[in-house]
Structure 1
Amino acid sequence: MASNIKSETPPSVSISQSQVEEKLPAHPEEQHLKKRFSLLSVVAFGFTTMNSWVAFASGVAVPLACGGGPGIIYGLVAAAVVMVIINVGFAELASAFPSAGGQYHIVYMTFPPSTRRVAAFFTGWVSVIYIMAGLVSCDLFVAGSILDVVSLWNEDYQPQAWHTYLLHILLCIVAFLVTSWFPSAVGKLGVGITVLSLVGFVASLVTLLTVQEVKQSSDFVFRDYQNVSGWPDGWAIFIGITGCLWAYSGVDAPTHVSEEVPNPSRNVPIAIITTMALGVVTVTAWNIALMFVITDLQALIESGVPILEVYNQALNSKVATTIWAVYYMVMFYDIVLNLFIFSGRTIWSLSRDGGVPYSDYISRLSRASPVRATAVMLVLQMIVGVLYVASSTAYSSFINLNLFALNITVALPQAAVLFRGRGILPERAFSLGRFGYVINAVATLFVAFFSVCFCFPVGYPVTGSSMNYLIVVMAVGLVVTTVAWFAKLRKTFTGPRLESYGDETLH
């Protein structure tokens, strides 16, 4: 694939002076994001947002319940095949249409003229919703981990949901201030976190496999299939693979800083492909090591913070567990910072095109940074965090919306290209060539199938508390978006205005 990545930037589209004068704001120089990220920092953004071996440590319960060691190891391999195909197809489109709006912009450029405005609007808002879900999930994990460490050392303390919520708000406020005023520093921090993550990956493998003796056999890890999910073995395999897809979530991250990196048509797909490659290697190796040292599989499945349970079982030391817990908090909080960066740019991109209420106000930049748009996400985090306190079932269903909606948004434009013909794509630095149709077709089929899998409860028999309300949550989001569209935004939403993107991102 690397041989398909060229150095040249796609040509610009010629726009008449009258069109520019009609559509550009009064102070156009204030409407462009600053080129503040290098190729290395964009790769770091992608890797630290996905950070597969770290992030998946909080979600191992489902594949373990659906097959034990083989369920998680082979599930990760199968999920890697699925997500690599989906995301390689998306990387080509990100190369063809780089923009801070990501999928929103790509959908507009690939859909037929008669439907592109509506499709882009809904894709943009679904993107905001899934980023919001991912952000609250990661931030509440950090907040919950802090309180769990406190309870580890003080057995009399019992964390309450409202304690976690208040800490969540504090962490979000800090993240908003940092990402709004020091976005370049966050990019440099991401490079350091990438190095720290890779060093920690090696240190974790050494810790798990050499500090303590191996406790499980290779049969337990690779051949002893244990399905305790309640589903029949055949269907449990697919539920387990669906759970493993989470290991490769967040690969769209580099697209949302496309307007802030030189030569995005080349650099963004490099970041996406590098992120996937590192993610597959690290998460598979780490989970193989994990399966060799666990002693109580059921305790790991039932744990609220599985990673703490992992190190408790492997090390049996409060000090060592605390050190690793702090390390994971740092890793996850960097994901929170990244998601604030990406959400602000997605909301700003929509507001720039009249796609949110009070667009004129929200779209204004401060120091070439979308501070007001990022503040919108801060408010949304305060609101959605209430779900965590009010209903664990509703909260879990909302979190499940993250990867479900993300995969749909990256597959929609691939389906459009598949049916309209790949000739609609402009010259781009990364091209799939003759493999394009196959990749786009298989990616579309994978997303369609696993979207159905996402809607199933992870265990059987199904109770009120274990029911998967993903479709209900998605329907509510679409209803709210539809009301906003018909009430006002269909009159103000223009779709991407090409002259707003700068020479390097015009097509």
Structure 2
Amino acid sequence: MAKRRATVPDTHEMDDLKLDNAETTYTNSNINDSSAGVAVKREKLSVEHDDRVLTRLGKVPVLKRNFAFMSMLGFTCTVMNTWEGELQLFLQSFQNGGSAGSIYGYIIVWIGTLCVFATMGELASMAPTSGGQYHWVYMLSPRSCRKFLSYFIGWLNVIGWQAAVAGLGYLSAALVQGVAVMGNPSYQPKSWQTTLLLWASIAFAVFFNTIIISALPKVEGVILILHVLGFFAVLVPLVYLSPHRGAEQVFTEFMNIGGWQTQGLSFFIGIIASVFNFLGADGAVHMSEEIQNAAVIVPRAMVFSVLLNGALGFGILVAILFCLGDVEMALASPTGFPFMAIFEQGVGSVPGAQTMASILVILMLCGTVSVVASASRMTWSFARDRGLPGWVHIGKVGLPSPPQVVILT
């Protein structure tokens, strides 16, 4: 039987999708949740509705919908890794903006990111597909250029997510070496060691996304708990044991260590670190075809992850600035990460500081698992729409995930 070529609806069909979604939501809300049988029926109705919406968007449902709100919230939070990233990229914003620049720049980025993902959430509620942005561009662009723009955005997304996998793997590797330097100052990290550790972290993520992929939703729920508990495990000893700087220094002191022409330019250079730490909430979009009630869960997961991660990131940023200690020593840390020197100065114990830093290593590895999942789904979706060379092979699916794309990623 010949396959019908996938198409994407125009914008005038979006209202029908929203009305259909509202009707199903109303129907489901009138079902009594008291029995397990009714709960199963609700889940079945939700999956059927999701598949119907996906079919109307021109896509054939082939992936199993295992993710719910909490597992997807954990997924997006670990992709973003905001408070963990804030510690790792602390040097960038501190040298270019100082304490005050770091704080106010973070707030600006947080508000801006929330606005961006609120808008993306609206689009995801209308068209929840793994392709995400390039599908939306196709639907909203003029007919004369929609194919070109959609293709261009698709490639940007694929390249960006593939780069994110490499970037997170590298950060994980560098963190491991930094912890090793803390325990053994004579150790000199080698580039080939970093490369091997990078590949090891990615292999760890591939294992989760292929061999035990069916357990990934439950694992993401556990990771969410670790993400929050790890924050307090680092924050409490740091704040309690470290000497504190004055509030005036923290909230009013601007710096331009980078040597830029003006303080304003330095501030905007430093703000890039905060932008990086808020990347990744759209990872939920690329998992849309594996989420139950995706039109509702995806927007909520994105917005709630920005709110939660933003609050945690702001808390750790203010804490690290108050507990900065010897700035010159922190900036000259042989680990390559000033926050490790701040940990050591604050708690007064190398093993204690190593333990705190090891929490970040674990969470970054968990983040790599989520990034590989999202990157592979984005790549698979673009191949399904014949946007990649070799799409015939890349776009195939081996339930419950596309393993060939995970390995390719």
TM-score (normalised: structure 1)? 0.67
What one-letter code is carried by the residue in structure 2 that aligns with 1:219? Answer: E
Decide which of 373, 379, 385 is 1:347's aligned counterpart.
Answer: 379
Report the equivalent of 2:397: 365
Aligned counterparts of 1:49 and 1:13: Cα–Cα separation in 2: 25
**CA separation of 1:14 and 1:122: change in aligned 2, threshold 3 A:** closer
Distance in 2 between the 1:264 and 1:184 partners? Answer: 18
- Cα deviation, 1:399-440, whole Å, max 9, x if unaligned, reads xxxxxxxxxxxxxxxxxxxxxxxxxxxxxxxxxxxxxxxxxx
Residue type at the aligned position of 2:116: I
**What amino acid is aligned across from residue 386 of structure 2 in structure 1?**
G
Aligned residue for 2:226?
196
Deviation at 1:79, TM superposition (A): 1.1
Aligned partner of 2:40 in structure 1 is: none
**Paired letter, 2:291:** V
Give yes or no for the alignment of 1:219 onto 2:248: yes
1:137 to 167, 185, 192: 167
Letter aligned with residue 248 of structure 2: D
Q: Match of 2:6? A: none
CA distance in 2, matches of 1:273, 1:82: 12
Following TM superposition, where does structure 1 have runs of at least 4 consecutive aligned residues deviating by more than 4 angstroms? 8-15
The residue identity in structure 1 corresponding to 2:246 is: S
Counterpart of 2:131 in structure 1 is 101
| Residue in 2 that maps onto 1:309 | 341
Distance, in Å, in 2 between the alignment partners of 1:334 and 1:33 is 23
Flag the 1:298–1:99 CA change in 2: closer, same or farther, 3 A. Answer: farther
Alignment CA distance shift 1:91-1:76 (3 Å): same
The answer as to whether partners of 1:61 and 1:300 remain within 8 angstroms in 2 is no
Counterpart amino acid of residue 366 in structure 1: G
Amino acid at match of 1:201: F
* Aligned positions of 1:131-170 closer than 5 A: 131-170=161-200
Q: Distance in 2 between matches of 1:297 and 1:74?
A: 20
Alpha-carbon separation, structure 1, partners of 2:171 and 2:54: 45
Of 259, 265, 282, which aligns to 1:235?
Answer: 265
The residue identity in structure 1 corresponding to 2:251 is F
Residue of structure 2 aligned with 1:338, choices 346, 370, 392:
370
Assess if the C-alpha contact under 8 Å between 2:125 and 2:294 holds in 1.
yes
1:285 is aligned, of 309, 312, 315, to 315
C-alpha separation between the residues in 2 aligned to 1:162 and 1:296? 32
Q: Take 2:222 and 2:342, find their aligned partners in 1: how far apart are those partners?
A: 25
Q: Contact between 1:183 and 1:341, CA under 8 Å: does it hold in 2?
A: no
Distance 2:178 2:65 in 1: 40
Aligned residue number for residue 118 of structure 2: 88
1:272 aligns with 2:272: no
The CA deviation at 1:183 is 2.4
1:327 aligns with 2:359: yes
Q: Quick one: distance in 1 between partners of 2:375 and 2:253? A: 42
Q: CA deviation at 1:13?
A: 8.7
* Within-5 A mapping of 1:372-391: 372-377=404-409
5+ residue gaps, structure 2, are: 1-20, 27-48
8 Å contact from structure 1 (residues 179, 337) kept in 2: yes
TM-aligned CA distance change 1:14 to 1:143, over 3 Å: closer
- In structure 1, the gaps of 5 or more residues are 378-507
Distance, in Å, in 2 between the alignment partners of 1:163 and 1:203 is 29
Aligned 8 A contact 1:97 1:109 in 2 = no
Secondary structure of 1:95's match?
helix
Maintained 8 Å contact 1:56/1:246: no
Matched letter for residue 369 of structure 2 = L
Residues 320 and 33 of structure 1, relative CA distance in 2, 3 Å threshold: same
Question: 2: distance between equivalents of 1:293 and 1:154?
Answer: 24
Q: Is the 8 A contact 1:300 1:306 kept in 2?
A: yes
Helix, strand or coil: the match of 1:134? helix
Matched AA of 1:278? L
> Is the Cα–Cα contact under 8 Å of residues 102 and 255 in structure 1 kept in the other structure?
yes
Asked if the contact 2:255–2:263 (Cα under 8 Å) also holds between the matched residues in 1, the reply is no
- Is contact 1:69-1:221 (8 Å) kept? yes
Q: Which amino acid aligns with 1:118?
A: F
Counterparts of 2:379 and 2:63 in 1: how far apart (Å)? 14
User: Is 1:121–2:187 an aligned residue pair?
Assistant: no
Tell whether 2:326 aligns with 1:296: yes
Amino acid at match of 1:105: H
What amino acid is the match of 2:174?
A: G
For residues 309 and 186 of structure 2, the distance between their equivalents in structure 1, rounded to whole angstroms, comes to: 39
TM-score by length of 2: 0.82
- Aligned-pair distance for 1:301? 4.3
Once the 2 structures are TM-superposed, how far is the Cα of residue 328 of structure 1 from its aligned partner? 0.5
SS where residue 287 of structure 2 aligns? helix
Partner of 2:277: 247
Amino acid at match of 1:230: G
Task: Please give the alpha-carbon distance, in whole angstroms, between the structure 2 residues aligned to 1:309 and 1:187.
Answer: 36
Q: Deviations over 1:42-75 (max 9, x none)?
A: 1111112113111221111222112221011111
CA contact (8 A) 2:256 2:263 kept: yes
How big is the alpha-carbon RMSD for the aligned residues of Structure 1 and Structure 2? 2.2
SS in 1 for 2:234: helix
* Displacement after TM superposition at 1:204 (Å): 2.2
Distance between the aligned counterparts of 2:181 and 2:163, measured in 1? 27
The letter for the 2-side match of 1:224 is E
| Contact 1:65–1:229 (Cα < 8 Å) also in 2 | yes
